[in-house]
């Protein structure tokens, strides 16, 4: 993928009150070597497990067809034919929106039955340069819209299920629901106030707003998917002393330039940076709870956050493995791990600079716990960040 | 009177061998000591490598190294200093 732009894709969902599964489904895929990303959102007929299955079948098929560049009307026809027919309403469908995003080329948006997408450049709504509509021969009551747009760095696409646009239907203030216009105004207002808002925060804000418009209960499944093209935010994590002492200086300098966020994990590592950069770590004990289960984090002025090493990284790893991109870390998570994960969430590219010298004290059998090797923990974190959190990760050994 | 400086090493080894308890020391200090002692945390004093690991956790009180520190031994040392200065 083009290194100057990062495609941030996030979706926030709420399940209809009383149901166990979300009747909307989404799937996201990045095709690095093609400078391409695909996002699909589907709303299955009805709600609960049945709807979830319909939606999931739809997103899975749509993703496969798009990826293999299948010709459009044919692909849509196949999808509708494949879905089972509802015995009550005699319709066999799940609505969907597909975004086939090409960096530097034409981005296609295909919609059937879902609320129309929103394309924003800053707070300005951008119209498509081409719009076509076709009706499926086998399913004449279904119209499919295709839109061609060009996405630039800084642009956002917002795709929502009707749980968003119809939120609050029937209330005095929202006779016809929040509608697309309400959603659009809300998004524009947020972007006006926070121009750099991430896809994740915007999707969260829109979904929460839709939820709060519903009186008392969530009347329909809510999904809001946001795609944001932006300059990548780089976070650098330095951990462990370099194998050769004469590399300490080069290692330390990596903390001072080229990243938006720097974290130094490890006491010895912090000592090396203090010595090489002439800085001092300050730890404010008032910021942590007495029962926090990790050593207190600190700040190295002008450089970044400092934490203890292996215990903190192991905790970060297990929290990331347990959590998922849309649900925040538990409120009782220890402070040092929370601060690192917050920074990871805000970043697109995470660079680990790993010193490979082994701390012999950590191998001492007198320690009450067995400590994992730094390199293994970093590898596990990298793996979960790439697979589950769609982050780009680089590891450099020193 | 200058405050007594209590520095607690919070490196991995020290933390696991008891520094986590030392960080709570202010909650068990007598009230009249509260404004006489300044507690701070240090990322790592590097003592577990320079000395021997079983001497952890390490603290420094007014710059003087205390090995195998625990809440009792630290309170005792601070008490001594306060009595000397009085």
Percentage of the residues of chain A whose pLDDT score is greater than 90:
62
**Of residues A290, A309, A360, nearest to B12 (C-beta):** A309
A199-213 vs A179-193: helix crossing angle, rounded to 10: 130
**Of residues A296, A366, A368, nearest to B41 (C-beta):** A296
Q: Does some domain include residue A159?
A: yes
Helix (H) or strand (E) holding A310: helix A310-322
- A102-106, A146-150, A154-158, A169-173, range with the lowest pLDDT: A169-173
Domain endpoint, select from A230, A248, A269: A230
Q: Are residues A315 and A362 in the same domain?
A: yes
Q: Does some domain include residue A82?
A: yes
- A10-24, A66-80, A247-261, A337-351, range with the lowest pLDDT: A66-80
Which residue segments constitute the domains of chain B, with CATH numbers given? 4-85 (3.40.30.10)
Query: DSSP 3-state assignment of A25?
Result: strand
Inform me whether the pLDDT recorded for A366 exceeds 80. no
How far apart are the CA of B41 and the nearest CA of chain A, in angstroms? 6
Q: Are residues A44 and A171 in the same domain?
A: yes
Q: Are residues A252 and A226 in the same domain?
A: no
Domain endpoint, select from A201, A230, A259: A230
What pLDDT is attached to residue A87?
Answer: 66
Q: Which domain holds residue A294?
A: 234-397
pLDDT tens digits, one per residue of A86-97: 666 666 578 899
How far apart are the CA of A167 and the nearest CA of chain B, in angstroms? 49
CA A290/CA A142 separation, integer angstroms = 61
Pick the more confident residue, A216 or A278: A278
In A, residues 261-300, which contact B (CB 8 Å cutoff)?
266-268, 270-271, 281, 283, 285, 290, 293, 295-296, 298
Q: Does some domain include residue A68?
A: yes
Cβ neighbors of A322 (< 8 A, separation 6 or more) are none
Rounded to two decimals, the ipTM of the complex is 0.90
- Neighboring chain A residues of B24 at a CB cutoff of 8 Å: 290
What pLDDT is attached to residue A149?
Answer: 96
Q: Are residues A290 and A144 in the same domain?
A: no
- Residue A119's pLDDT band, with cuts at 50, 70 and 90, is very high
* Contact call for A308 and B48, based on CB within 8 A: no
Q: Are residues A238 and A306 in the same domain?
A: yes
Q: Are residues A23 and A166 in the same domain?
A: yes
DSSP string for residues in A135-175:
E-SS-TT-EEEEEEEE--TTEEEEEE-HHHHTTTTTSSTTT
Residue B62, chain A, CB below 8 Å: the answer is: no
- Neighboring chain B residues of A361 at a CB cutoff of 8 Å: 12-13, 48-49, 53, 56
CA A45/CA A52 separation, integer angstroms = 9
Q: Are A268 and A384 in contact (CB under 8 A)?
A: no
- Residue A4's pLDDT band, with cuts at 50, 70 and 90, is confident
CA A116/CA A221 separation, integer angstroms = 17
* Contact call for B43 and A281, based on CB within 8 A: yes
Beta strand A349-354 with A392-397 is parallel
Q: For residue A69, what is the DSSP state?
A: T
- Neighboring chain A residues of B27 at a CB cutoff of 8 Å: 290
CATH number, domain of A91, equals 3.60.40.10
Residue A306, chain B, CB below 8 Å: the answer is: yes
What pLDDT is attached to residue B72?
Answer: 94
Number of structural domains found in chain A: 2
Percentage of the residues of chain A whose pLDDT score is greater than 70:
97
* Contact call for B15 and A311, based on CB within 8 A: yes
Q: Are A284 and A320 in contact (CB under 8 A)?
A: no
Average pLDDT over residues A100-124: 94
- Residue A129's pLDDT band, with cuts at 50, 70 and 90, is very high
Q: Are B60 and B45 in contact (CB under 8 A)?
A: yes
Pick the more confident residue, A75 or A114: A114
- Residue A3's pLDDT band, with cuts at 50, 70 and 90, is low
Q: Does some domain include residue A149?
A: yes
Q: Are residues A144 and A252 in the same domain?
A: no
**Of residues A308, A310, A369, nearest to B10 (C-beta):** A308
Domain endpoint, select from A213, A230, A247: A230
Average pLDDT over residues A327-340: 89
Q: Are residues A80 and A151 in the same domain?
A: yes
Average pLDDT over residues A366-379: 85
How far apart are the CA of B59 and the nearest CA of chain A, in angstroms? 15
For the entire predicted model, the pTM comes to: 0.76
How far apart are the CA of B9 and the nearest CA of chain A, in angstroms? 9
Q: What are the strands, taking DSSP E only, across A15-55?
A: 24-31, 36-44
Q: Are A24 and A161 in contact (CB under 8 A)?
A: yes
Q: Are residues A170 and A63 in the same domain?
A: yes
**Of residues A281, A360, A368, nearest to B49 (C-beta):** A360
- Residue B11's pLDDT band, with cuts at 50, 70 and 90, is very high
**CA distances from residue A389 to A278, A341, A344 in whole angstroms, order as listed:** 36, 11, 10
What pLDDT is attached to residue A55?
Answer: 92
Q: Are residues A293 and A203 in the same domain?
A: no
Q: Does some domain include residue A77?
A: yes
Q: Are A154 and A231 in contact (CB under 8 A)?
A: no
Q: Does some domain include residue A1?
A: no
Which strands make up the sheet holding B4-9, listed edge to edge?
B37-42, B4-9, B59-61, B64-66
| Nearest-Cα residue of chain B relative to residue A309 | B12
Cβ neighbors of A374 (< 8 A, separation 6 or more) are A239, A240, A309, A310, A313, A354, A356
Mean pLDDT of chain A: 90
How far apart are the CA of A396 and the nearest CA of chain B, in angstroms? 23
Q: Are residues A194 and A282 in the same domain?
A: no
What pLDDT is attached to residue A86?
Answer: 67
């Amino acid at each position: 993928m083009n290194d100057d732009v990062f495609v941030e894709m996030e979706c926030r969902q709420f399940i209809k009150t009383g149901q166990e599964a979300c009747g909307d489904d989404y799937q996201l895929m990045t095709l690095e070597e093609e400078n391409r990303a695909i996002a699909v959102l589907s709303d299955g007929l009805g709600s609960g497990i049945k709807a979830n299955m319909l939606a999931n079948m739809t997103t899975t098929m749509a993703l496969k067809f798009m990826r293999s560049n299948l010709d459009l009307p044919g692909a849509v026809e196949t999808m509708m034919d494949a879905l089972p027919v509802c015995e009550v309403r005699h319709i066999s469908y799940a609505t969907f929106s597909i975004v086939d995003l090409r960096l530097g080329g034409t981005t296609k948006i295909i919609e059937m039955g879902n609320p129309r997408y929103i394309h924003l450049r800053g707070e300005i709504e951008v119209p498509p340069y081409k719009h076509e509509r076709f009706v499926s021969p086998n399913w004449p009551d279904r119209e499919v819209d295709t839109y061609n747009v060009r996405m630039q760095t800084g642009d956002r696409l917002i795709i929502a299920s009707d749980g968003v646009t119809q939120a609050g239907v029937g209330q005095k203030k929202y006779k016809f629901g929040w509608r697309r216009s309400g959603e659009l105004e809300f998004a524009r207002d947020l972007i006006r106030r926070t121009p750099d808002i991430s896809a994740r925060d915007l999707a969260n804000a829109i979904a929460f707003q839709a939820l709060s418009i519903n009186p008392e209960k969530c009347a329909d499944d809510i999904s809001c998917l946001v795609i944001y093209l932006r300059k990548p935010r780089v976070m650098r994590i330095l951990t462990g002393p370099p194998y050769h002492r004469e590399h300490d200086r080069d290692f330390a300098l990596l903390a001072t330039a080229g990243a938006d966020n720097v974290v130094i994990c490890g006491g010895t590592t912090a000592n090396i940076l203090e010595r090489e950069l002439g800085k001092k770590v300050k730890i404010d004990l008032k910021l942590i709870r007495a029962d926090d289960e990790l050593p207190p984090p600190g700040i190295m002025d002008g450089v970044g956050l400092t934490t203890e090493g292996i215990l903190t990284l192991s905790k970060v790893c297990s929290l990331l493995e347990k959590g998922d991109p849309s649900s925040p870390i538990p409120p009782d998570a220890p402070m040092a791990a929370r601060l690192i994960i917050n920074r990871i969430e805000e970043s697109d590219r995470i660079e680990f600079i790993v010193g490979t010298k082994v701390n012999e004290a950590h191998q001492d059998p007198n320690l009450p716990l067995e400590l994992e090797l730094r390199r293994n923990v970093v590898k596990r974190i990298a793996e979960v960040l790439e697979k589950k959190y769609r982050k780009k990760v680089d590891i450099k050994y020193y | 009177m200058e405050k007594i400086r209590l520095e607690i090493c919070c490196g991995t080894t020290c933390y696991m061998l008891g520094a986590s308890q030392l960080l709570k020391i202010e909650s068990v200090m007598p009230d009249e000591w509260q404004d006489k002692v300044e507690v701070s945390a240090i990322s790592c004093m590097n003592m577990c490598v320079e000395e021997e690991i079983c001497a952890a956790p390490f603290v420094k009180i007014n710059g003087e190294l205390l090995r195998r520190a625990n809440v009792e031994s630290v309170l005792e040392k601070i008490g001594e200093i306060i009595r000397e200065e009085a």
